[in-house]
Amino acid sequence: MAKQFPTTYSLAVSALLASCLASPLSLAHSHTNPKRVTPKTIIDNVMAHYPSIINAKRDIAIAKAKALSAHGAFDPRLQSDFRDTPNGDYVNWYTDSTVNVPTGVQGINLFAGYLNGKGDFPSYEKNFLTNSRGEFEVGAELPLLKGRATDAMRTTLANALIGVDLSHILFLQKRNSIIEKALNTYWTLVTANRNLSVYRHLLTLARERNVALSTQFTHGDIAKIVVTDNLRAIMKRRAELTAMLLKAKQTAIELSLFYRDENSNPLVIRPNALKVKYLPIRRISLKHKKVRQFLSELVNEQPAVLAIAAKAKQLANTIGYQENNLLPKLSVKLYTDKDNGRGSPTLGKRAYNAAVSFAIPLFLREARGKVSAAKVKYLALALKKKLLVEQLSAKVHQVINQINYNARQIGFLKRQAELSRKVESAEKFSFRKGSSSLFIVNQREQDAAAARIAYINSRLDYYYAYNDLYRLCQYDSSCIHHLFSS
């Protein structure tokens, strides 16, 4: 049995339908009449004009901006201090400027500074006094324990770069979901229009017969009940046609939520643009080892799996940073300085300096708690990924089984439709010879129409399954071709 017509975005469709009914002109103006709308046309249009796709592309830009901001943590920083004491017991002034350059390599921080101080300084400020051209200083600071393997800035940058990859993955996930809905709606509308042709043909048969029966009744050749019964068939078929027309119109409006103009406004596609060829009906064999291996790789490349893997990498970086925070802070600072110009000969000599800094917190409960929490989350992600891979593997095999089943069903239902048409023709021949009744003819026509509609809807089921596989292939035609040709 064919799937039900899509109900996604039902509220939006209802609102759009209500607005169109309230203002007929707006509906007319929203129509477009391209020569032909194909599945590729739908995909290209969704990628270019669908609002959620546009927003997802902006999310990528936001992620890149965050990565740029994280890179900014390693920008050189200039810091300057100036003090002037024009009167008092100690008249002096000094300026102190330093440039710090975080390298991001094992936490090494490079620095260079310039100090120039003049005047009288108290003994506890003699370090501000320099020769006439000031003091130049250059050096580096290297962490040996905490901050060596990683630190807050490097962790933030690494996670921001993974965030860029994650934004691309989430974009693909959103894109695939939207395109799948759009294509399912497209094929539903194509199928509805083909079903309409069957219902129209069925109604036309009854109307043409009514003309002949009315003439026969006028001449007294048949009873009135025969004409009445045919009128009943006409009313029944008109009701069926009207119901299918409503479904087709509603589906067309739903498709307009995906198919848009250059300003991203919905466009209702006219039926004559949907006269496309059937997709070829093919099956997929799972007997070959290469096909099974390809499907396994296909599962691991799904955006949902890649998204979990990216989040796990971010969490691993966070765990590394929190574990590093458990270490004592031990750093070495190596630098050299020299005064230039006139002044003290002692200050004018180049000095080589080394300093060691050590600090250890007495309690590490906060860091330990964060490490434990992050590790539990990491294990939960690993389990979630395992379950998702298993679910997707099952989904792939279910989709292929559905494709192969629908391919067989299409053959059976096509043959049934052909045989029903022959039975209908034979019954009409018997009716013209007087050896059948109008009731039986109507029944044969209904059976033939039902068989034709069942055949058309079986192809829709195939298209739904095909679209499921197309989504798993990331809408890569070469992937589809590989699976069907193996």
The answer on pLDDT for 347 being more than 90 is no
Question: Could you tell me if residue 369 is inside a domain?
Answer: no
Residue 269's alpha-carbon distances to 11, 54, 183, 365, in angstroms, are 20, 22, 14, 64
Asked if 258 and 272 sit in the same domain, the reply is yes
Q: What is the mean pLDDT of residues 183-192?
A: 95
Q: What is the pLDDT of residue 30?
A: 53
Torsion angles phi and psi, residue 183, rounded to 5 = -70, -40
What is d(CA 77, CA 111) in angstroms, rounded to the nearest whole number? Answer: 9
189 part of a folded domain? yes
Gyration radius from the chain CA atoms: 39
Kindly state whether residue 142 falls inside one of the protein's structural domains. yes
Nearest CA to 252 among 204, 196, 201, 200?
196
Query: Does 355 lie in the same domain as 307?
Result: no
d(CA 126, CA 441): 117
Residues 84 and 26 occupy one common structural domain: no
Residues 295, 413 share a domain? yes
Give the count of beta carbons closer than 10 Å to the beta carbon of residue 3: 13
Within-domain flag for 323: no
Contacts of 117 (CB under 8 A, 6+ apart): 92, 93, 94, 95, 128, 129, 130, 134
Are residues 279 and 164 both part of a single domain? yes
Examine residue 305 and state whether it is found in any structural domain, yes or no: yes
Angle at 274 between CA 271 and CA 277, to 5 degrees: 145
pLDDT-derived band at 31 (thresholds 50, 70, 90) equals low
pLDDT reading at 7 higher than 90? no
CA quadruple 17, 21, 22, 26: dihedral sign: positive
**pLDDT given at position 23:** 37
- Residue 27, pLDDT > 60, answer no
Residue 464's nearest CA partner among 182, 276, 259 is 182
Chain segment 91-148, per-residue pLDDT in tens: 999 999 999 999 989 999 999 999 999 999 998 888 888 888 889 999 999 999 999 9
| Predicted local confidence at residue 11, as pLDDT | 37
Range of the domain at 36: 10-68+155-314+376-485
How many domains would you assign to the chain? Answer: 2
User: 357 CB contacts (<8 Å, ≥6 apart)?
Assistant: 329, 330, 331, 332, 333
Do residue 204 and residue 63 come from a single domain? yes
Contact by Cβ (8 Å): 212, 243: no
Residue 286, pLDDT above cutoff 90: no
Asked if residue 105 and residue 37 are part of one domain, the reply reads no
Question: In this structure, are 177 and 291 located in the same domain?
Answer: yes
Q: What whole-number distance in Å separates Cα of residue 197 and Cα of residue 241?
A: 9
Looking at the structure, tell me whether residues 37 and 184 fall in a common domain.
yes
Instruction: For residue 32, name the pLDDT band (cuts at 50, 70, 90).
Output: low
Q: What band does 277 get if pLDDT is binned at 50, 70 and 90?
A: confident
Asked if residue 3 belongs to a domain, the reply is: no
User: pLDDT value at position 348?
Assistant: 73
pTM score: 0.81
Nearest of 25, 30, 29, 31 to residue 270 by alpha carbon:
31
Evaluate whether residue 320 is within a structural domain: no
State the Cα–Cα distance between residues 94 and 145, nearest whole angstrom.
36
Judgement on whether residues 266 and 161 belong to the same structural domain of the protein: yes
Give the model confidence (pLDDT) of 191-207 as tens digits: 999 999 999 999 999 99
Same domain flag for 419 and 453:
yes
Mean pLDDT of the chain: 88
Q: Is position 198 within any domain?
A: yes
Per residue in 443-471, pLDDT tens? Answer: 999 999 999 999 999 999 999 999 999 99
3-state helix, strand, coil in the chain (%, to 5): 65, 15, 25
CATH code for position 215: 1.20.1600.10
> Quick one: residue 71, left, alpha or beta (phi over 0 = left, psi -120 to 50 = alpha)?
alpha
250 in the same domain as 277: yes
